[in-house]
Amino acid sequence: MLKAIALSEGATKHLSIFLLIPSFIRDGGYDLIASMRKQIQLEKSSCRLSTPQERKRFLSL
């Protein structure tokens, strides 16, 4: 994935700097973040219900 980002253009190209970090360290960092993802989750894990005003915009079957 990082190699594909390195070939891209734009702001994401700067993420290719992580290629300088050995893969076993990147993998360890990924595993750490993956194990803590529930704790650092920024958004709610459930969907909100639409308001009556929003429901009026959809067709009912």
10: region left, alpha or beta (phi > 0 left; psi from -120 to 50 alpha) = left
Predicted local distance difference test score (pLDDT) of residue 1: 65
Which range of residues forms the domain containing residue 27? Answer: 1-37
Predicted local distance difference test score (pLDDT) of residue 10: 74
- In angstroms, the CA 32 to CA 40 distance is 11
CB 22 within 8 A of CB 39: no
Tell me how many domains the chain contains: 1
Asked if the structure places residue 44 within a domain, the reply is no
Asked if the structure places residue 43 within a domain, the reply is no
Residue with tokens 């390195």: 6
Residue with tokens 């969907």: 47
Predicted local distance difference test score (pLDDT) of residue 53: 92
Asked if the structure places residue 17 within a domain, the reply is yes
Residue with tokens 């700067």: 14
Q: What is the amino acid identity at position 60?
A: S
pLDDT per position as a tens digit, 2-59: 677 777 777 777 777 777 889 899 899 889 988 888 777 766 667 788 899 998 888 8
pTM of the model: 0.46
Asked if the structure places residue 19 within a domain, the reply is yes
Predicted local distance difference test score (pLDDT) of residue 24: 92
